[in-house]
């Protein structure tokens, strides 16, 4: 007698992959063997788990990047400062950001946002 086929919620799998979870961890969360998950992905998407995982993890990073960007544009100063370090080369060596510097960061972020939006 064969074992019943595992029911896999692929929306949850995608969500966990986008959150950068490993296949082994996801299988554990779902209560299945990792090989069962890998085979199910291959059967459903005709794609190896590594390739599928890489695609979903990339999507997750881009969603996170966009969310962070939106928060900065909406006025989240902490996010504006962090993104200014990442994209504009600002550094921790500054003791304090002046109001003028914060305004510059906001303007630069808006410019970059509008450029990306236009593409």
The tokens for 113 are 């946002």
Cβ neighbours of residue 26 closer than 8 Å, sequence gap 6 or more: 12, 13, 16, 17, 37
pLDDT tens-digit readout, 27-48: 999 999 999 999 999 999 999 9
Q: What integer is the mean pLDDT of 39-61?
A: 97
Alpha carbon 49 to its chain's center: 18
pLDDT tens-digit readout, 102-116: 788 888 888 888 888
pLDDT of 93 > 70? The answer is no
Structure confidence at residue 8 as a pLDDT band (50, 70, 90)? very high
pLDDT of 94 > 60? The answer is no
CB 26 within 8 A of CB 16: yes
Q: What integer is the mean pLDDT of 12-31?
A: 98
pLDDT of 59 > 90? The answer is yes
Q: What pLDDT is stored for residue 37 in this prediction? A: 97
For the chain, the domains span 10-56, 75-118
Q: What pLDDT is stored for residue 53 in this prediction? A: 98
Q: What pLDDT is stored for residue 97 in this prediction? A: 64
């Amino acid at each position: 007698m064969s074992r019943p086929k595992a029911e896999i919620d692929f929306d949850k799998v995608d969500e966990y992959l986008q959150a950068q979870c490993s296949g082994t961890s996801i299988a554990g969360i779902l209560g299945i063997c990792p090989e069962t998950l890998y085979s199910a992905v291959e059967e459903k998407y005709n794609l190896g788990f590594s390739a599928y995982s890489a695609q979903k993890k990339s999507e997750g990073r881009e969603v996170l990047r966009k969310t962070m960007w939106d928060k900065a544009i909406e006025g989240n100063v902490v996010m504006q400062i962090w993104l200014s370090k990442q994209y504009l080369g600002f550094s921790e060596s500054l003791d304090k950001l002046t109001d003028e510097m914060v305004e510059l960061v906001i303007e630069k972020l808006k410019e970059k946002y509008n450029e990306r939006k236009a593409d």
